[in-house]
Every structure is written in structure tokens, then in C-alpha cells.
Amino acid sequence: MPKHAIPGYARLNRTHKLSAAGVAAAGAAALVFAVVPGSADAKEGNDQAAVQNVKPVAFSAVDNAAKTQQDTIGKQADASAQQAEKDAAEAKKKAADEAKAKEEADAKAKADQERKDQETASRSSDRAAAPAPEQAKTYSNDLDGWIRESLDIMQKQGIPGSYEGIQRNIMRESTGNPQAVNGYDSNAQQGTPSKGLLQVIDPTFQAYHVDGTSWDIFDPVANITAACKYAAATYGSMDNVDSAY
């Protein structure tokens, strides 16, 4: 095989080789500038257009988002403020209602207590004003006790008479014997003898009997009160009787 496979290559000197390389390099550069600059310009134009187109959109979106967020925050703040005002108003109303209810309850309790105090005071006053019940009066079982008991009954019945007048007539009529019976006077002859301390006949005793006393004609008190009632109707009082009546 020949030493130089490329024909004529050996015959190119250094100058020729450099010139060829320079032409090749120049051609490659031209090719690059013919292709790349156009693409670079196009890309740069596209990038600038993209930047011009994107930039306003990006800032507008941010502004709108910020404004929306601010509006949302503002609405939330307003809602919170309104709710706080509503809660405060409700709390104030509740406190006022509770205070009013407590005031009414206190007033009612005070009125009830005053009423109870008045009732208690009234009952105490009534008890103080009411006279103490009279103790049952006791009388001796003798002429003095019979006359005194009869006088108390006569006073209640409005029958006049005095201790002296009653005693005087008793001593004359029966000498103080409640069982005395006259069996010889005109009454006895007619079948109605005089009986008891003041010698009363049965028809007179029954007609002038005093309520609250015994129906027994020999009962000392019943006999005295019936006789005094008869004497009051006939003579004005037993005090006016000085003889048989």
C-alpha cells in the first residue's frame, strides 16, 4: 500500500494545510452564524414576549389574591366584631334579666316576711288583748256560798237583789234550811206546800226557774234565784219583801 493513501495530500505543504483549515473553520462559523443567530434571536424574542406577557398576569394574580385575602380577613374581622357585640349584648341582657329576677325575688321574700311578721305580731297582740279565761269560781257549800253564787247568776240574768235582802228573807222563811217544807199554810192546804230556803211553791218555781240552775226545787241556788226572779216581777226586788210573799 502506498505511503500516502490520500492522493495529492502529500503534495500539500504546511501553508496549503493551514489555508484549508482556515477555510473549513470559516465555513463552519458561517454555518453556525447562519443557523444559530436566527434561533437565538427567535428564542430571545419569544422569552421577551413571554416575560412581557407573564409579568402583568403574575402581578395581577398576586394583587387579586392579596386583595381577596384582605377582604376575607376583613369580613372575618367584621363577623367576629359583630358576634362579639351580639355576645356582649346577650350577656348584658342576661345579666339585667338575672338582676331583675333577683330584685323581684328579694322584694317578694321581703313582702312575705313582712306579712308573716305582721301576722305574728297580730296574733301576739290578739293573745295579749284577749282577757285571760276566768277561772271557775268556787263557793262554799253553806248559806253564804249559796247566796253569793245566786247573786252572780242573778247579775248575769239582770235580776235585782242584794246579799242582805236575800239573807234576811231566807232567815225569816226557813231559818237557812234548804229542805224546809211548810205543811200548814194556805198553800199547803191547797196541796202545794212552800219549799226550800225561800219557801217557793212548785208552780212558782217552774214558772220563774232561771236558766243554768237545777230544776230541783230543794237546790239552794235554784230556789233562791227563782224566788228572787218572782220577787223582782212582783215587788221590784227581793229587797222590798219584808213578810210572806
- Rounded mean pLDDT, 63-85: 82
Cα angle: 71, vertex 74, 75; to 5 degrees: 85
pLDDT per residue over 190-208, tens digit each? 999 999 999 999 999 999 9
Strands 181-182 and 194-195: antiparallel
- What is the band of 29 on the pLDDT scale with cuts at 50, 70, 90? very low
Mean pLDDT of the chain: 80
Return the exposure string of 198-215: e unless at least 16 CB atoms fall within 10 Å of the residue's CB, then b.
bbbbeebbeebbbeebee
Q: How confident is the model at residue 32 (pLDDT cuts 50, 70, 90)?
A: very low
Residue 7 has pLDDT above 50, yes or no: no
Summarised one tens digit per residue, pLDDT across range 158-179 is 999 999 999 999 999 999 999 9
The whole-angstrom separation of Cα 65 and Cα 60 is 8
Q: Indicate the pLDDT class of residue 131, thresholds 50, 70 and 90.
A: low
User: Dihedral angle at the C-alpha atoms of 180, 181, 187, 189, nearest 10 degrees?
Assistant: -150
Q: Which three cell numbers stand for residue 65?
A: 389574591
Residue at 35: amino acid letter: V
What share of the chain in percent tops pLDDT 90? 44
Given the C-alpha cell 434571536, which residue does it identify?
41
pLDDT for 170 = 97
Name the strand (E) or helix (H) holding 182.
strand 181-182
